[in-house]
Amino acid sequence: MRTLAKNVFDLPEMREKVRVFADRKHAGNILGDMLRSFRGSNGILLGIPAGGLPVAVAVQQKIGLELEVAVVSKITLPWNTEAGYGAIAFDGTIRLNEAMLPHLHLGEDQIQKGQANTLKKVNRRVRGLRGDKPFPELIDRPVLVVDDGLASGFTLLVAAEAVRKAGAASITVAVPTGHLESINRIVEQVEAVYCPNIRSGMRFAVADAYKYWSDVTEEELLKLLNKGGGHAV
């Protein structure tokens, strides 16, 4: 593995390994231990649903920061809803994977439709999770953006861009597992990345870091928010 940037923090004993976490809660506990320097600060945790919220709740239980949810969704391919070519954040921020688009042979109408459908999904999820609760104040606060993994990194890039627009003093990306190239890409846009399990190679799947993996439902998200005392943004 190439030398990591000085603002990337991992656990050397977990490098290049799979099935290192029992589940998202276990991963969040490990991540929370790595983030203990934030305990007692005025920082705020932003969990990205769906899978990032269980991780963020576990982190919160370790370091005690305010917990909110930052709704961000990838723009998926018409023929594969697991793969995306961009993402949209809770404030409408959009980022497309310009390097990927020429190889997808999507028409402009397909791209516009994909963006419109994703924006509807983001707005629907914000309403469902937050209702009419006000947007949290991020100005002059350190923000920790938490997800359950970092594959292409586009979801977290868009989340970071939206959080920066909202006035965050600093942005730290915290993910249990991530691909080395994507981490190197995103660390240029934020102040730090914490990722205990960094892997390289041609094939990367977030789920491979977990022994137990399943989708997180909207009902589970609401239960987790009640447990963690957080809200959606």
For the whole model, what pTM was predicted?
0.89
Q: What is the domain range of residue 66?
A: 8-72+138-232
State the average pLDDT over residues 164-177.
95
Find the length of the chain. 233
Q: What are the start-end ranges of the E strands in the chain?
A: 8-9, 44-47, 66-69, 72-77, 80-89, 94-96, 142-146, 170-174, 177-179, 192-194, 197-199, 231-232
Least confidently predicted of 15-19, 145-149, 192-196, 202-206: 202-206
Mean pLDDT value across residues 145-152? 93
What pLDDT sits at residue 174? 97
* CA–CA distance, 91 with 119 (Å, rounded to integer): 10
> How many angstroms separate the CA atoms of 48 and 69, rounded?
6
CATH number of the domain to which 155 belongs: 3.40.50.2020
**Do the domain assignments include residue 45?**
yes
Average pLDDT over every residue of 160-166: 93
Task: Name the band, by pLDDT with cuts 50, 70 and 90, for residue 1.
Answer: low
Distance CA 14, CA 2 (A): 15
Share of the chain above pLDDT 90, in %: 55
Cα 137 from Cα 46, distance rounded (Å): 12
Residue 224 within a domain: yes
Average pLDDT, the chain: 88
Residue 64 lies in a domain: yes
pLDDT at 134 over 50: yes
Assess whether pLDDT exceeds 90 at residue 202: no
Question: 157 and 95 in contact (C-beta within 8 Å)?
Answer: yes
Tens of pLDDT along 105-130?
A: 888 888 888 889 989 988 888 888 77
In a domain, 119, yes or no: no
Residue 24 tokens, joined? 């998202």
State mean pLDDT over 14-42: 95
Number of domains in the chain: 1
Q: On the CB side of 224, how many CA atoms lie within 13 Å of its CA?
A: 28
Q: Is 223 among the domain residues?
A: yes
